[in-house]
C-alpha cells in the first residue's frame, strides 16, 4: 500500500510524520516530500488500487487556486481519476478553515471540494460539526474521530522543571504564566500583556513567559536581511515593553528549547483560542502543564471533564478582556494546591500518556487498511 501525504514536510514537522509510524512499520510506502499542488498533481499518478491519499492541510491548494487559473478543475480531475482507479481519499480536518489564510475564498472552496471528495474525514473530537457551524457542507457519515496526539517522545525533554527555571532565570517562588502560540495576534498578545500587568501590580512574584509566532504574512520571508525585525514584531515588542520581568521570544524555537519554556510555567494561557484544533492544549499536557481557555470556546467543551483544563469568562460590559483574563488566571492558580502544583501536573501528564503519537498512528493504520481492503481485488495488508 502506498500513502501519499499532502502536504508532507515530515523532516520538519514531527507530529505529522508520527501519523505514519504504525503504517510504515507494517510495510506501507510513503510518497514523500509532496509539498506543492504541482507536485501533488504529478505524484498522484503513481498511485493505484488500494493506495491512500491523505490530506492534512489545504494551504498549498488554496494558494494554487488563487494564483493559477484552472487549478481547481485540474485538482478535481486528478482526484476523480485516482478514485476511479480505486485510490481512497482520507482528509484529516484540523481547523475549520486554514489559519491566517491569504486566500479565504479559495480556502473555503477547497474545503468544500475535499468534503465532497473524501472517503473518510478524520476529526479530532465529536464537536467538529458544531465548530464548522454550516460554513461548508459535510456528510456526518464520513466522519471518523481519531483524537489528536500529545508530543510525547517527539522532542528531547531531559530537563527537570527546577533545572529549566534556573537556566532561564526564574526563581522557585515565581508564578510563571505562559502565552505560547504558533498563531499569535497582536490583539491577543496585548490582552495577555495587560492582564499580566494587572497581576504583577498586585503580586510581584508573577512573571510572564511569551513565545509567539505570528501569521505567515506578518513576517517578510523574502527580506534582504532574514533577521530583520518586521513591523508586527516591533509592535509586539512595544506591547511587552512594560513587562520587564518577562521572558520573551518571537519566531520559532527548536522542540527541545520549547520544552523548557513549558517546564518553567505554572499555567499555560490561550486567551482568545476558539479554534477546534486541540494541539495547543495537548502540547501543554505533554509537559504536564495546566491550561486556561475561554469558557465559550469549543475546546472548553471538549476538555470539560479534565481537571487540568481551566476556563474563564471573557470580557463583558464593564469588564475588559485583560481584566477578565487576569481574574481567570488568578482563579485557575488558586485551584492548584498551595505551593505545589504536582497533582494538576500529574493529571495533565496522564492524559498525554493516553494520547501518544504511536497510539494515534495505530488508529490511522487501521483506517488505511480498512479502506484499502474495501477496494475489489485488494487484500487486507499494508
pLDDT tens string 240-299: 999 989 999 887 766 667 889 999 999 999 998 989 999 999 999 999 999 999 999 999
* Spatial distance between the Cα atoms of 88 and 365, rounded to a whole number of angstroms: 14
Q: Cα torsion for 25, 27, 28, 34, to the nearest 10°?
A: 70
Chain-centre distance of CA 38, in angstroms? 25
- Residue 298: CB partners within 8 Å, gap ≥ 6? 127, 130, 131, 274, 275, 276
Question: Which stretch of 103-117, 163-177, 229-243, 259-273 has the lowest confidence by average pLDDT?
Answer: 229-243
Residue 208: phi, psi to the nearest 5? Answer: -100, 145
Q: Under a CB-based contact definition with an 8 Å cutoff, are residues 65 and 74 in contact?
A: no
**Average pLDDT for residues 42-63, to the nearest whole number?**
94
pLDDT at 380: 54
pLDDT at 218: 40
pLDDT at 178: 96
| Higher pLDDT pick, 316 / 23 | 23
Tell me the pLDDT of the chain averaged across its residues.
89
With pLDDT > 90 as the criterion, what percentage of the chain qualifies?
67
pLDDT at 295: 96
Q: Residues of CATH 3.40.50.2000 domain(s) within the chain?
A: 2-149+356-373, 161-354
* Spatial distance between the Cα atoms of 28 and 202, rounded to a whole number of angstroms: 58
- CATH topology for 2-149+356-373? Rossmann fold (3.40.50)
> In this model, does residue 379 exceed pLDDT 80?
no
Q: If you count DSSP H runs as helices and E runs as strands, how many of each does the chain have, helices first?
A: 16, 12
> In this model, does residue 349 exceed pLDDT 60?
yes
| Measured CA distances, 72 to 59, 61, 64, 92, 99 (Å) | 13, 8, 8, 20, 20
pLDDT in tens, 325-334: 999 999 999 9
**Strands of the 29-30 sheet, one edge to the other:** 29-30, 2-6, 52-55, 88-92, 120-123, 143-145
pLDDT at 382: 56
pLDDT at 47: 96
pLDDT at 156: 73
Q: Under a CB-based contact definition with an 8 Å cutoff, are residues 249 and 206 in contact?
A: no
Half-sphere exposure of 368 (CA within 13 A, CB side): 30
* Alpha helix stretches (DSSP H) within 86-145: 104-117, 128-132
> In this model, does residue 360 exceed pLDDT 50?
yes
Reported confidence tier of residue 32, pLDDT bands at 50, 70, 90: confident
Reported confidence tier of residue 222, pLDDT bands at 50, 70, 90: very low
pLDDT at 116: 97
**pTM for the full model?**
0.89
With 0-12 / 13-18 / 19 or more C-beta atoms within 10 angstroms meaning exposed / middle / buried, residue 24 is: middle
> Is the Cα torsion angle 341, 347, 351, 353 positive or negative in sign?
positive
Question: If you search the block for the grid coordinates 524555537, which residue do you land on?
Answer: 253
* Spatial distance between the Cα atoms of 361 and 158, rounded to a whole number of angstroms: 24
- Residue 360: CB partners within 8 Å, gap ≥ 6? 18, 19, 146, 147, 148, 149
> In this model, does residue 216 exceed pLDDT 80?
no
Question: Which stretch of 103-107, 193-197, 345-349 has the lowest confidence by average pLDDT?
Answer: 345-349
**Average pLDDT for residues 101-129, to the nearest whole number?**
95
pLDDT at 289: 93
> In this model, does residue 343 exceed pLDDT 60?
no
pLDDT in tens, 12-31: 566 667 889 999 999 999 98
Q: Under a CB-based contact definition with an 8 Å cutoff, are residues 190 and 235 in contact?
A: no
CATH class of 161-354: alpha beta
Amino acid at each position: 500500500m502506498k500513502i501519499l501525504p499532502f502536504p508532507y514536510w515530515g523532516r520538519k514537522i514531527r507530529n505529522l510524520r508520527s501519523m505514519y509510524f504504525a503504517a510504515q512499520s507494517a510495510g506501507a510506502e510513503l510518497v514523500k516530500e509532496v509539498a506543492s499542488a504541482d507536485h501533488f498533481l504529478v505524484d498522484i499518478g503513481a498511485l493505484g488500487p488500494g493506495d491512500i491519499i491523505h490530506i492534512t492541510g489545504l494551504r498549498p491548494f488554496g494558494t494554487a487556486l488563487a494564483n493559477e487559473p484552472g487549478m481547481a478543475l485540474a485538482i478535481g480531475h486528478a482526484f476523480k481519476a485516482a478514485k476511479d482507479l480505486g485510490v481512497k481519499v482520507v482528509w484529516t480536518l484540523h481547523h475549520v478553515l486554514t489559519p491566517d489564510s491569504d486566500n479565504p475564498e479559495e480556502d473555503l472552496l477547497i474545503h468544500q471540494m475535499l468534503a465532497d471528495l473524501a472517503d473518510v474525514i478524520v476529526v479530532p473530537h465529536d464537536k467538529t460539526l458544531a465548530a464548522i457551524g454550516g460554513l461548508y457542507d459535510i456528510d456526518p457519515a464520513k466522519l471518523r474521530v481519531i483524537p489528536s496526539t500529545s508530543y510525547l517522545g517527539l522532542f528531547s525533554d531531559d530537563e527537570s522543571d527546577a533545572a529549566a527555571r534556573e537556566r532561564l532565570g526564574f526563581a522557585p517562588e515565581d508564578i510563571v504564566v505562559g502565552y505560547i502560540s504558533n498563531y499569535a495576534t497582536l490583539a491577543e498578545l496585548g490582552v495577555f500583556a495587560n492582564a499580566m500587568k494587572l497581576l504583577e501590580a498586585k503580586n510581584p512574584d508573577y512573571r510572564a513567559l511569551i513565545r509567539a509566532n505570528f501569521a505567515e504574512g506578518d513576517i517578510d520571508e523574502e527580506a534582504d536581511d532574514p533577521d530583520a525585525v518586521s513591523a508586527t514584531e516591533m509592535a509586539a515588542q512595544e506591547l511587552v515593553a512594560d513587562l520587564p520581568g518577562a521572558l520573551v521570544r518571537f519566531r520559532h524555537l527548536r522542540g527541545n528549547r520549547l520544552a523548557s519554556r513549558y517546564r518553567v510555567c505554572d499555567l499555560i494561557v490561550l486567551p482568545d483560542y476558539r479554534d477546534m484544533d486541540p494541539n495547543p492544549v495537548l502540547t501543554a499536557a505533554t509537559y504536564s502543564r495546566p491550561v486556561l481557555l475561554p469558557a465559550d470556546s469549543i475546546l472548553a467543551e471538549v476538555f470539560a471533564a479534565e481537571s487540568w483544563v481551566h476556563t474563564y469568562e471573557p470580557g463583558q460590559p464593564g469588564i475588559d478582556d485583560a481584566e477578565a483574563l487576569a481574574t481567570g488566571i488568578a482563579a485557575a492558580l488558586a485551584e492548584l494546591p498551595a505551593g505545589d502544583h504536582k497533582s494538576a501536573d500529574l493529571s495533565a501528564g496522564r492524559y498525554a500518556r493516553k494520547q501518544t503519537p504511536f497510539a494515534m498512528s495505530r488508529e490511522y493504520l487501521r483506517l488505511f487498511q480498512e479502506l484499502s481492503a474495501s477496494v475489489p481485488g485488494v487484500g487486507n495488508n499494508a
